[in-house]
Amino acid sequence: MSNILRWSCLRRCSAVSALALLLSGCGVTHLASQGEPASSADEDARQPLSYKRLPPIPYTPDAWPEALNAEVFLPASPNRSRRPAALIVHGGGWRNRGPDDMRGIAEQLAAQGYVAVNIEHRFAPGYKFPAQLHDLQQAMAWIHTNADEWQVDTQRIVGVGFSSGAHLVSLLALAGSEGPLAEPYGGEQSRLAAVLAGGLPSDLLKFDDGRLVVDFIGGTRAEKNQAYRLASPERQVTPDAPPFFIFHGTWDQLVPVDHARDFYQTLIDNGVESELYLLHGRGHFASFLLRGGAIEAGIAFLNDQVSP
């Protein structure tokens, strides 16, 4: 399996983005495990689809510890054929923020023909791992329940997230149909066909015992070592993992870039189709706010996997 290394500069930037690029340098490194990624010209040639956004809808069962909502974006469809869906999860250190942060990405996906499901999840420290993973598994069950109404092909559901949201969708993708991460709410209906993950904390044991991770897990690395291992996507990779598109800022101090590089290498070592898109001169938040073509390249990767 050969790697392709491609350098390019981002040419279309807003005034804010342009200033940031002047300060930090303008470069992208793109590593792909198989073949050339789709070009931006290919994306520009796509005919955008219209879509509608439904009001927030509860997706959790009535007896769930906390009622959680989802925004659903339904693309217009000229026929009633089945289409892919995207489960979208926001960042916020597992403890704050909300679906508003991911609305623009949800709109991009809906315009490309995905049923985009942009969800809330429970927060630490009130709810600790694996509560948030269980929320995502309930969201997947809910998508399956509504698949006929929304015309979703349940074999073509992808996961999209940034930061802690990328961590959660990655864990969901790697949980498998059996085992400790799949029980009691996972299984076959929680399978993802591909993942787009940005700013991903891939190995929680790499962090010092800081407040965010300790609050999420419920203890330090020494106290909860097995939980840290179970909650680390890189340590759950098998050859059965779905394809991954990973983007990350090279100046990320909150989640250092070795999380992305090492995770990518582990995927490649297991024969999993993957791409790594490095944003040079971006920190953690800048790699999301000033992400340039990362999302477009990521959606092109997802399109190659599920063909909307």
pLDDT at position 307 = 87
Return the DSSP state at 269: H
Q: What is the pLDDT along the chain (308 residues), one digit of tens a residue?
A: 333 223 233 233 333 333 333 333 346 777 876 544 443 334 443 455 689 999 999 999 999 999 999 999 999 876 568 999 999 999 999 999 999 999 999 999 999 999 999 999 999 999 999 999 999 999 999 999 999 999 999 999 999 999 999 999 999 999 998 899 999 999 999 999 999 999 999 999 999 999 999 999 999 999 999 999 999 999 999 999 999 999 999 999 999 999 999 999 999 999 999 999 999 999 999 999 998 899 999 999 999 999 87
Task: Give the H/E segment covering residue 160.
Answer: strand 152-162
The pTM for the full model equals 0.87
- Which domains are delineated in the chain? 4-306 (3.40.50.1820)
Nearest to 275, CA basis, from 105, 37, 89: 37
Phi, psi (deg, nearest 5) at residue 123? -110, 145
Q: How many CB atoms lie within 10 A of CB 79?
A: 5
Nearest to 26, CA basis, from 286, 261, 299: 286
* Residues 14, 194: Cα–Cα separation, whole Å: 30
Question: pLDDT per residue over 16-60, tens digit each?
Answer: 333 333 333 346 777 876 544 443 334 443 455 689 999 999 999
Taken in order 184, 169, 105, 20, the sign of the CA dihedral is: positive
* Residues 198, 294: Cα–Cα separation, whole Å: 9
